[in-house]
């Protein structure tokens, strides 16, 4: 657990930078889908969006921002995260 505390301290120290990276990742992935449409690499986009949602969730928890914590944790679990990657991988309803 000590490594987690150390990692959490690092995230807190660089919070604004990590938040900006997460936001830019989200903008990039949605732009990729917007430009490529059905030809976009959906599994990559879902994995990329899940990563940015994890970063943004972590930042929201540190900032004690409940609204963005709920939004991004939902994004990880249902919005694009687990469900999106399963669907992009060919599992689930057509």
Would residue 93 count as lying in a domain? no
> Hey, is 1 helix, strand or coil?
coil
Would residue 18 count as lying in a domain? yes
Predicted local distance difference test score (pLDDT) of residue 88: 66
User: Distance between the two ends of the chain, CA-based, in angstroms?
Assistant: 41
What's the total number of domains in the chain?
A: 1
Predicted local distance difference test score (pLDDT) of residue 45: 83
Q: Which domain holds residue 32?
A: 2-88
pTM of the full predicted structure?
A: 0.79
Nearest to 55 by CA among 34, 28, 75: 75
pLDDT, tens digit, for every residue of 15-59? Answer: 999 999 999 999 998 899 899 988 988 778 888 888 999 999 999
């Amino acid at each position: 657990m000590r490594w987690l505390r150390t990692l959490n301290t690092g995230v807190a120290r660089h919070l604004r930078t990590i938040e900006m990276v997460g936001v830019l990742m989200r903008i990039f992935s949605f732009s990729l889908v917007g430009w490529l449409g059905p030809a976009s690499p959906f599994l990559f986009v879902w994995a990329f969006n899940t990563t940015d949602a994890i970063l943004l969730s972590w930042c929201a928890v540190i900032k004690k921002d409940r609204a963005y914590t709920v939004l991004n944790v939902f994004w990880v679990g249902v919005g694009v995260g687990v469900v999106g990657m399963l669907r992009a991988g060919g599992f689930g309803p057509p």
